[in-house]
């Protein structure tokens, strides 16, 4: 079975925020001793410690974060912006949204998501209408 690499620093940071020891994290995940958590936190990159997806999911669940937060990235996603600066601004704004929303009660979070989805839908519809208008004027 394929293994995925986890970002040990992010795991250590979140575990520390929760005031949890490596042994406590391992126990809550059902992983036995703390040695696997120690390996994950101390290794990264080429020499990193790969784990099964199920193990990564257990760790993420116990830490209370989506699994995507603790997966180590070996690439930079292509920017969805025209410049590096615009990409950095987008990334910063998305992170800010996540930070602002992380403590919201579930019902408030669902409301924020509904508003965001509505705004995105409207934006995409406007873009489609502009594209159709531009094509019609070319014909």
pLDDT (tens digit, 9 = 90+) per residue, 93-102?
A: 888 888 888 8
In a domain, 28, yes or no: yes
- Mean pLDDT across 104-111: 90
- DSSP element (H, E) containing 51: strand 50-51
Residues 97 and 126 in one domain: yes
- Mean pLDDT across 38-47: 72
Residue 117 lies in domain = 84-138
In a domain, 109, yes or no: yes
Q: What is the pLDDT of residue 84?
A: 64
Ramachandran sector of residue 64 (left: φ over 0; alpha: ψ -120 to 50; beta: rest): left
Q: What is the pLDDT of residue 127?
A: 83
Residues 64 and 8 in one domain: yes
Share above pLDDT 70 across residues of the chain, in percent, rounded to a whole number:
86
Specify the DSSP class assigned to residue 79.
P
Q: What is the pLDDT of residue 15?
A: 93
Mapped onto helix, strand or coil, the DSSP state of residue 75 is coil
Supply the pTM of this predicted model: 0.52
């Amino acid at each position: 079975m394929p293994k995925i690499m986890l970002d040990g620093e992010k795991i250590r940071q979140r575990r520390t925020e929760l005031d949890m020891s490596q042994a406590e994290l391992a126990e809550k995940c059902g992983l036995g001793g703390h040695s696997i958590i120690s390996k994950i936190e101390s290794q990264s990159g080429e020499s990193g410690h790969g784990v099964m997806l199920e193990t990564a999911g257990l760790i993420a669940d116990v830490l209370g974060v989506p699994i995507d937060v603790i997966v180590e990235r070996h690439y930079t996603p292509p920017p969805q912006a025209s410049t590096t600066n615009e990409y950095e601004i987008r990334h910063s704004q998305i992170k800010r949204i996540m930070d602002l929303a992380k403590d919201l009660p579930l019902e408030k979070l669902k409301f924020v998501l509904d508003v965001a989805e509505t705004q995105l839908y409207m934006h995409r519809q406007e873009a489609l209408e502009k594209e159709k208008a531009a094509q019609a004027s070319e014909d």
